[in-house]
Chain A
Amino acid sequence: MADSTHMDVSYIAHLARIHLADGEAELFQGQLDQVLKYVEQLGELDVSNVEPTAHAMALVNVLRADTPRPSLDHDAVIANAPASRDGQILVPKIME
């Protein structure tokens, strides 16, 4: 296992794009350090010859014919957007 059971919560929250409120980082730090300490027990097992399981059913390359079909109702989709104009979702500027 990792040598440390302590994560930098503020840094990880930044990676996850979550601004933490005052006190939240400290609260999560204590709780998550406890969880990391708990999961350390997986280190007891010798898994050097074990294949990982990513999925309950082994599936490879599920393909379908590339044929056109109706998509979702445009108005119903746009109605859920926080901001829209002319039937399109309005987003903040990403470059000057």
Chain B
Amino acid sequence: MAGLNTKTISELAALLEQGKCTSVEIVTDVLATIDAHDGKIGAYLTIDRAAALAQAVAADQARAAGKKGALLGIPLAIKDLLNVKGQPCTCSSKIIEGYIAPYDATAIAKLREAGAVFLGRVNMDEFAMGSSTESSAFKKTRNPWNTDHVPGGSSGGSAASVAADEAVAALGSDTGGSIRQPAAFCGCVGLKPTYGMISRYGLTAFASSLDQIGPITKTVKDSAILLTAMAGKDEMDSTSIDLPVPNFAKDLTADHSLKGMKLGLPKEYFVEGMDPEVEASVRSAVEHCKKLGAEIVEVSLPHSKYAIAVYYIIATAEASANLARFDGIRYGLRKDGADPIELYGKTRAAGFGPEVKRRIILGTYVLSSGYYDAYYLRAQKVRTLIRNDFTEAFKQCDAILAPVTPTPAYRIGEKTADPLKMYLDDILTTPVNLAGICGLSVPCGFSSSGLPIGLQILGDSFQEANILKVGHAYEQTTDWHRRKPAL
């Protein structure tokens, strides 16, 4: 059966279950598509063909022996900051080039147990610091819908691989929008789970109080399948939460009614300078949800406009501490110096790219003596106000509808010279990480130039079921997610 790579996890699970295809056939189709298109797209850093095929053979054998499961034999692309035992994990940085992961991240171990196949490593902004994947030390990734445009970031390789059918689904990580924004730019579904939902063990840390692993998929149901497989308490991550994990996919039925659901529309999220086509698509999606039976209520998130300032203080502060481990001693690059201090300085100078250096310097500054109260402590206090905004809003609604980004994907090179300008684009995604709640990006239209537009659906902490329900109902009664880029 040709074109297995274009199908969704749930479609392939059914075909595999009925014996109509094998995992080896799926992986073969995916690898052929990577060979045909990745020279143009640039999603992958490394492809582990032999291991992927061996895992596919093992999955087919396990199925023949009676093993079942929606992920058994499904090939996934993995963002290059999640440890997969035996594969490189470079975070798209020269400072850790050549590093081979000695263990599986917990999320990976769970997927491995479920029989998923790991295709290889996909590109990202260096250490997940960026919104366009242009800060990767290794290569440019292009948007499959228009290769002159960025795929978004930092999980740009993940989103581009899924949009180009070079993977059935992918994993990313979201610290300030890094799953939802590239998913929106590439016309995919991206889920940032609630903080604590998925163990962060084995996820290279950027900003530990904000980071979450999540899926980038072709449909909301596939997102639910991966969430169900990865969620749960893990003693290797003390911030993972001990709650029962429901089968999120099972609750997504053919009943697409949203009757009885209240959906909030935050007036602050239709920001000045928003592209009119984005605003029109999102407003039309809101109308669509209303037709499905949802009640639309206006809500207010008055501190939203401070989110970027808070985010770039807290995230850089945490990053400056987390990235101290890249010092040339235990792994990766080492540039010798006359003494250890000089070794650190030379190693970090040669190993980090400009965006990472900028953020480490900013983070070091906001934590430094004399500035801590003015920057870091104040940002943490405003973070409380942003959280409180959501707590109040969720008293009035079950989920919130909003745009993901102010504009569709911009051109490669358009914003690299002006870091602040690039940061400001995260205005609609960073509040979610600061509050620790969950958010989903679902395709809701295209610009007149053919670039995808995303609808953001936000839910309160551990209310993933609500946002998946809304996303699934919207998606299944529209056809945006069925469109494919011409490659």
Q: Which residues of B contact A41 (CB under 8 A)?
A: 305-306, 309
**A35-B420, A41-B309, A47-B385 known; A80-B330 Cβ under 8 A:** yes
Whether a CB of chain A sits under 8 angstroms from the CB of B138 is no
B364 touches A82 (CB 8 A): no
Q: Is the CB of B374 within 8 A of A1?
A: yes
- Shortest Cβ distance from B195 into chain A, in angstroms? 4
Chain A contacts with B in 4-57, Cβ cutoff 8 A = 7, 9, 12-21, 24, 27-28, 31-32, 34-35, 38-39, 41-43, 45, 47, 50-57
Question: In the bound complex, what is the Cα–Cα distance between A15 and B365 (angstroms)?
Answer: 9
Given contacts A56-B195, A56-B435, contact A50 B385 (CB under 8 A): yes
Task: Indicate whether A18 sits within 8 Å of B382 (C-beta atoms), given known contacts A28-B361, A77-B102.
Answer: no
Cα A35 to Cα B308 with chains together (Å)? 10
Interface size class of A (residues with CB under 8 A): 35 or more
Chain B residues contacting A50 (CB-CB under 8 Å) are 381-382, 384-385
Contact among B235, B343, B361, B379 for A13, CB-based, below 8 A: B361
Choose among A20, A42, A92 the residue that contacts B339 (Cβ–Cβ < 8 A): A92
Within 8 Å of chain A (Cβ to Cβ): is B337?
A: yes
Identify which of residues 46-96 in chain A touch chain B, using a CB-to-CB cut-off of 8 Å: 47, 50-57, 59, 62, 64, 72-73, 76-77, 79-83, 89, 91-92, 94
Closest approach, in angstroms, between the C-beta of A70 and any C-beta of chain B?
11
A2 neighbours in B (Cβ, 8 Å): 370-371, 374-375
> Is B348 part of the binding interface, using a Cβ–Cβ cutoff of 8 Å?
yes
The smallest beta-carbon distance between B361 and chain A, in angstroms, is 5
- Which residue of the partner chain A has the closest CB to B387? A53
Contacts A76-B100, A80-B332, A94-B340 known; A1 to B320 CB distance under 8 Å? no
Contact (A19, B332) CB under 8 Å given A32-B358, A53-B384: no
Chain B residues within 8 Å of A57, by CB: 195-196, 239, 241, 436, 461
Residues of A within 8 A of B305 (CB): 41
- Does B79 belong to the interface (CB within 8 Å)? no
- Bound: A32/B310 CA distance, A: 15
Assuming A32-B358, A80-B330, is B368 touching A19 (CB within 8 A)? no
A91 touches B349 (CB 8 A): no
Cα A64 to Cα B241 with chains together (Å): 15
Question: In the complex, which residues of chain A have a beta carbon less than 8 angstroms from the beta carbon of B210?
Answer: 56
- Cβ-defined contact, A12 with B383, below 8 A: no
CB distance from B232 to the nearest CB of A (A): 15
Most chain-A Cβ atoms within 10 A of its Cβ — which of B364, B368, B418, B434? B364
Smallest CB–CB gap between A28 and chain B, Å? 6
Closest to B331 in A: A80
Q: Is the CB of B381 within 8 A of A47?
A: yes
Q: Cβ of B235: which chain A residues have Cβ within 8 Å of it?
A: 64
**Distance between B388 CB and nearest chain A CB, rounded to angstroms:** 9
Question: Is A92 within 8 A of B343, CB to CB?
Answer: yes
- Cα(A39)–Cα(B313), bound, Å: 8
Contact of A31 among B306, B309, B375, B420 (CB under 8 A): B420
Mark interface residues in B352-364 (1 if CB within 8 Å of A CB, else 0): 1010011011101
Closest to A7 in B: B365
Extra 6 A-B pairs, beta carbons < 8 Å, given A14-B345, A80-B331: A16-B364, A41-B306, A50-B381, A72-B103, A82-B334, A91-B340
Give 8 A-B contacts (CB < 8 Å), ordered by A residue. Answer: A12-B361, A17-B344, A32-B361, A47-B382, A56-B436, A62-B239, A81-B330, A83-B334
List 4 A-B pairs, minimum CB-CB distance, nearest first: A56-B436, A52-B380, A82-B334, A76-B102
